Amino acid sequence: MTIRVLLADDQALLRGTFRLLIDSCPDLEVVAEAANGDDAVELTRAHHPDVVVMDIRMPGSDGLTATATICADPALAATRVLVLTTFETDEHVARALRAGASGFLGKYVTTDTLLAGIRTIAAGDALLSPGATRTLIARFLSTPRPSAPHVDPDQLAILTPREREITALAALGKSNQDIAEQLVVSVLTVRTHIQHAMTKLGARDRAQLVVLAYQSRLGQVPPT
């Protein structure tokens, strides 16, 4: 199945480069391009892409505002957002995840990393670049903010003990393989529990499951 991609970046040359790269892959296709956040939202609603590759700094509504709008729209629940920017700061990472982004990469990643990132996001997995360390993300996500929605820890009561355990491990940045080895279960079992937890908590994907885990204090800040 072809993964449909929307590119949102104010630099036409960069969009063109990304389009050539993505369209060269038989399993990927660029369906639209946007030069600002407002157009990104409008075109996403028109085309319903699988993945939006979103720049942060654009004229008008920025990429984070556009990401929040897209991720809050029930009609776009199947669309994932991969934030791609030169400004790979701790605050931008946290804001992107709070806005609903499924992943975060620096603009100067290799072509293979970008293509792999799009496929990872489309599959419903979370993606964070090496610069976006889990320790810093945990600190930002576990720090309450007046504008952040309150998440009741009791909300996690609907999870089974195993689902809670695996969700907590996922929040530490562990992969399905890591969790499977630690708990001595199969990767398929881990993936199933993650999917059940996402469904029960209404999480769009693994990244949002991690956000919920930290906001409800199930995920704890790892030691430095």
At 90, is the pLDDT very low, low, confident or very high (cuts 50, 70, 90)? Answer: low
Indicate which CATH number applies to the domain containing 56.
3.40.50.2300
Mean pLDDT of 198-209: 84
Verify that 155 and 127 share a domain, yes or no. Answer: no
Q: What average pLDDT does the structure give for the chain?
A: 83
Domain that holds residue 206: 150-215
At 89, is the pLDDT very low, low, confident or very high (cuts 50, 70, 90)? Answer: low
Residue 63 near residue 50 (C-beta atoms within 8 A): no
Whole-angstrom Cα distance, residue 146 to residue 219?
Answer: 20
Domain final position from 102, 132, 162: 132
The pLDDT value given to residue 141: 60
Indicate which CATH number applies to the domain containing 202.
1.10.10.10
Verify that 82 and 112 share a domain, yes or no. Answer: yes
Helix (H) or strand (E) holding 84: strand 80-85
Instruction: Assess if residue 224 is contained within a domain.
Output: no
Overall domain count for the chain: 2
Interval 108-125: pLDDT, tens: 788 898 999 899 889 877
Whole-angstrom Cα distance, residue 119 to residue 223?
Answer: 31
Instruction: Assess if residue 144 is contained within a domain.
Output: no
Instruction: Assess if residue 160 is contained within a domain.
Output: yes
pTM of the model: 0.72
Verify that 46 and 97 share a domain, yes or no. Answer: yes
